[in-house]
Amino acid sequence: MLNATHDFCTIPMPDEHYGLNDYSKGMPRWCPGCGGHSILTSVQRVCKDLQYPPEKTVAVSGIGCSSRFPHYMGTYGFHGLHGRAFPVACGIKFRRPDLNVFAITGDGDCCSIGAGHWVHAVRYNMKMVALLFDNGIYGLTKKQTSPTSPLGTHSNTHPEGSILPPINPLQTTLGISNASFVAQTTDWNVAHLYATIRKAAEHPGFAFVRIVQRCPAFMRDLYADLSGNPENLIYLKSENGINLEPNAQRKFERVIEHNPLNINKAREHAEISDGIPIGLLYQNTENPRYDTYGAHNLGMNATDKKQGIRELLDHYTIKNNNS
Ligand code: SF4
């Protein structure tokens, strides 16, 4: 903490200033080279740059490699049940709209057992950052086919290669009513990763970010090819999108001009199969948000709420007219 003033210093200083260490905790247990490391660092940097008070910040997760995330944040955290990051995060946000919420999920967690919660969390559009760590495999349980595994993935559940086409998390999210922010990035482009999470944190609603994440332990070949070839990345360029410094932009060989207000074009770009489009696919800051209807935002205190519950219970009481 820095002191506000000094006798000979006229530069205004904040009463409190949080450094990166304030958002860090423990030693991540992810494998060396796992994409989780750079995502964690980027979230911590965003928290620092936006000066989120650690005691007003919470990371919520389900189950999977990615879901160890809250253990490494020096903030509040909730390591929940498989597929249940979103309902817990929504409950927290509804009750405590003053908190900065990060919902952390993986492809197995979100797109399989948690898919129903994913749909409704997008529709509720409560303000939070939702990060899908998509490595295309169940890593924690050592290599089973996940809903986003590319067709033909050899795994312990499909030794001969997976037989169903994968879910496209971008297409799915863009198809849910009231979706308000859909972006994609990769763990190995750290400048773009940071800029994407920062843009998501500033969005007034549910900001869904799919992060194409490397899993060197179980998907080494696939991700070595993706990350080793710059032609695989397609930079979505827009005045109101996710923008990098000109020098950082220059390394992208494939660039598409895209207006993130255009949901039909966003759906087209989400379908691109000969590369990974990165950037802001869609944003609408006007969509209704369910968290603004919570008791807190309606200005109700504890007494008001008790009174309201009593009135409702009276309303639904079945009265015996003979007594
Ligand atoms: Fe990361 Fe894969 Fe290791 Fe899990 S198994 S920690 S996703 S590299």
Query: 3-class SS at 35?
Result: coil
Q: Show Cβ contacts of residue 116 under 8 Å, excluding neighbours closer than 6 positions.
A: none
Reference 233, options 173, 179, 193; nearest CA is 193
Confidence of residue 299 (pLDDT cuts 50, 70, 90): confident
The CATH-assigned architecture of domain 20-289 is: 3-Layer(aba) Sandwich (3.40)
Predicted confidence (pLDDT) per residue in 5-41, tens digit: 455 566 666 678 999 999 999 999 999 999 999 999 9
Question: Distance between CA 63 and CA 245 in Å, rounded?
Answer: 36
Identify the residues whose C-beta falls under 6 Å from ligand 1.
30-31, 34, 36, 65, 135, 139, 215-218
Residue 297 has pLDDT above 90, yes or no: no
Enter the pTM of the model.
0.91
User: How confident is the model at residue 8, as a pLDDT?
Assistant: 57
User: How confident is the model at residue 9, as a pLDDT?
Assistant: 60
Confidence of residue 323 (pLDDT cuts 50, 70, 90): low
| Nearest protein CA to atom 5 of ligand 1, as residue | 139
Mutate to test the pocket of ligand 1, among 27, 29, 31 (most ligand atoms within 8 A of CB): 31
Q: Show Cβ contacts of residue 307 under 8 Å, excluding neighbours closer than 6 positions.
A: none
User: How confident is the model at residue 317, as a pLDDT?
Assistant: 86
> What one-character DSSP code corresponds to residue 5?
-
- Identify whether the C-beta of residue 102 lies closer than 8 Å to the C-beta of residue 137: no
Domain extents for the chain? 20-289
Inter-residue long-range contacts of 290-296, CB under 8 Å, 24+ positions, other chains counted: 290/90, 290/94, 290/124, 290/125, 290/126, 291/90, 291/93, 291/94, 291/97, 291/124, 291/126, 291/127, 292/97, 294/94, 294/95, 294/97, 296/95, 296/96, 296/97, 296/98
Residue 223 has pLDDT above 90, yes or no: no
**Higher confidence at residue 250 or residue 146?**
146
Q: What's the mean pLDDT in 60-67?
A: 97
**Higher confidence at residue 145 or residue 319?**
145
| Nearest protein CA to atom 1 of ligand 1, as residue | 34
Question: Ligand 1 centroid to 76 CA: how many Å?
Answer: 24
Q: Which residue has the tokens 């924690």?
A: 140
Render 65-77 in DSSP notation, one character per residue.
Answer: SGGGGGGGBSSEE
Q: Which atom of ligand 1 is nearest to the CA of 30?
A: 6
- pLDDT above 90 covers a percentage of the chain that reads 80
Question: Ligand 1 centroid to 271 CA: how many Å?
Answer: 26
Compute the chain's Rg from CA coordinates.
22
Render 77-141 in DSSP notation, one character per residue.
Answer: EEE--TT-HHHHHHHHHHH-TTSEEEEEEEHHIIIIITHHHHHHHHHHT-SEEEEEEE-SSBTTT
Name the phi and psi angles at 34, rounded to 5: -65, 140
User: How confident is the model at residue 194, as a pLDDT?
Assistant: 98
Q: Show Cβ contacts of residue 285 under 8 Å, excluding neighbours closer than 6 positions.
A: 180, 203, 204, 205
Q: What's the mean pLDDT in 67-77?
A: 98
Residue 114 has pLDDT above 70, yes or no: yes
Residue 4 has pLDDT above 60, yes or no: no
User: How far apart, in Å, are the Cα atoms of 180 and each of 129, 243, 251?
Assistant: 12, 19, 29
Q: What is the mean pLDDT of the chain?
A: 93
Question: Distance between CA 182 and CA 139 in Å, rounded?
Answer: 25
Query: 3-class SS at 183?
Result: strand
Reference 59, options 92, 104, 114; nearest CA is 104
Confidence of residue 1 (pLDDT cuts 50, 70, 90): very low
**Higher confidence at residue 299 or residue 158?**
158
Q: What's the mean pLDDT in 180-199?
A: 97
Confidence of residue 320 (pLDDT cuts 50, 70, 90): confident
Mutate to test the pocket of ligand 1, among 66, 135, 149 (most ligand atoms within 8 A of CB): 135
Mutate to test the pocket of ligand 1, among 143, 215, 219, 222 (most ligand atoms within 8 A of CB): 215
Confidence of residue 161 (pLDDT cuts 50, 70, 90): very high
Confidence of residue 322 (pLDDT cuts 50, 70, 90): low
Predicted confidence (pLDDT) per residue in 232-254, tens digit: 999 999 999 999 999 989 889 99
